[in-house]
Amino acid sequence: MKQAMIIMNPSSGKAEAREYIQAAEEVLQVAGYQVTVNETAGEGDATAFCVQACSEGCDLVVAIGGDGTLHETMNGLADQQHRPVLGIVPMGTVNDFARALQIPLNPEQAIRNLASSRTRRVDMGRLNERLFVNVVAAGSLAGSLSSVSSDDKNRLGFLAYLREGIKELTSSKTHPLTIIHDGEVWEGSSPLFIAALTNSVGGFEKLAPGAAVDDGLLHCFIVKDLHLLNSVTVSISLLLGNLRSHKDVIYFTAREVTLRSSEPVRTNVDGEAGPPLPLTLSTIPRHLQVVVPEE
């Protein structure tokens, strides 16, 4: 019999994730899986459970939670000889990776999607010695978003990120950055650098409209200025899907990027606090197989 492991974060979805376990088990059992359920209790648990699933030869791993849970789960697949297919039931605040793959954001629909016969191979990103799923951001704005508490995420959803972002935009703090990509060098001051694997970042599905989950590229943005007035025009460009064309934004694609700074600079990785600079980012093309909706 095929083996499936469910990895569930009980604090996701306004702490409602447990309510969907039985439904997910039933769908998988009907599809012919013997199911094991593991519940995370702290940082690193999802990664450890996923490593266990790889070592036990599981055919499918299902992550029930937000982008942070998904980030940890996918890190358990790094450099594993056997990598199970990944199923996703998004229950976080933003769920960027699910958006990019058109996986339903409604938990009931996403659970039904686990029985889909269609999969898609997707890229993963490498950040120093760890993997990332969707996005790496560096700068003052990226650091402020990492400070949003779990309680605020559950209570306010995406508005929690928006509130922190608006507070940070009014300060217009920049950092000196050196960005090296595919043999080119950019040096200057910036409040925000973004490297995205998909078209959806922070719930905005038009950040990089040309990005595909399997194109092998990092889609990168250097924002040169974010004073309060300019932030309005940047926001409009973001909503219209033409941020790359804004006069104070530099856009490029790369397979490898190195970031350095002479100052301490905070980062945000898949919606959670990341390591400080320096960073080296790269892509692992078509590294993982994910269950996606039937065409």
Regarding whether 268 and 155 lie in a shared domain, the answer is: yes
Regarding whether 101 and 151 lie in a shared domain, the answer is: no
Regarding whether 269 and 142 lie in a shared domain, the answer is: yes
| pLDDT digits 0-9 by tens, 218-259 | 999 898 866 544 554 555 444 444 555 556 788 999 999 999
Regarding whether 246 and 145 lie in a shared domain, the answer is: yes
The reply to whether 294 belongs to the active site is no
Choosing from 39, 205, 256, 272, the catalytic residue is 272
Dihedral of the alpha carbons of 225, 158, 287, 85, in degrees to the nearest 10? 180
Regarding whether 235 and 167 lie in a shared domain, the answer is: yes
Tally the residues of the chain. 295
Tokens of 251: 């856009």
Q: Please name the helix (run of DSSP H) or strand (run of DSSP E) that holds residue 108, with its range, or none.
A: helix 107-113
Is residue 112 within 8 A of residue 120, CB to CB? The reply is no
Regarding whether 140 and 263 lie in a shared domain, the answer is: yes
Q: What is the pLDDT of residue 273?
A: 82
Statement: residue 124 has pLDDT above 80? yes
Query: Measuring CA to CA, which residue among 222, 209, 231 is closest to residue 252?
Result: 222
DSSP 83: -
pTM above 0.85, yes or no: no
Going by pLDDT thresholds of 50, 70 and 90, the confidence category of residue 204 is: low
Regarding whether 155 and 108 lie in a shared domain, the answer is: no
Phi-psi group of 39: left, alpha or beta (phi > 0 → left; psi -120 to 50 → alpha; rest → beta): beta
Which domain CATH number covers 186? 2.60.200.40
Query: Measuring CA to CA, which residue among 82, 87, 105, 96 is closest to residue 125?
Result: 96
Q: What is the pLDDT of residue 106?
A: 94
Q: Report the domain count for the chain.
A: 2
**Does residue 253 form part of some domain?**
yes
Regarding whether 168 and 75 lie in a shared domain, the answer is: no
CA geometry: angle at 145 spanning 142 and 147, to 5°? 120
Is residue 192 within 8 A of residue 139, CB to CB? The reply is yes
Q: State which of 61, 84, 115 marks the end of a domain.
A: 115
Regarding whether 230 and 142 lie in a shared domain, the answer is: yes
Structural domain span for residue 102? 2-115
Regarding whether 140 and 57 lie in a shared domain, the answer is: no
**Does residue 139 form part of some domain?**
yes
Mean pLDDT over the full length of the chain: 83
Q: State which of 115, 150, 170 marks the end of a domain.
A: 115
**Does residue 120 form part of some domain?**
no
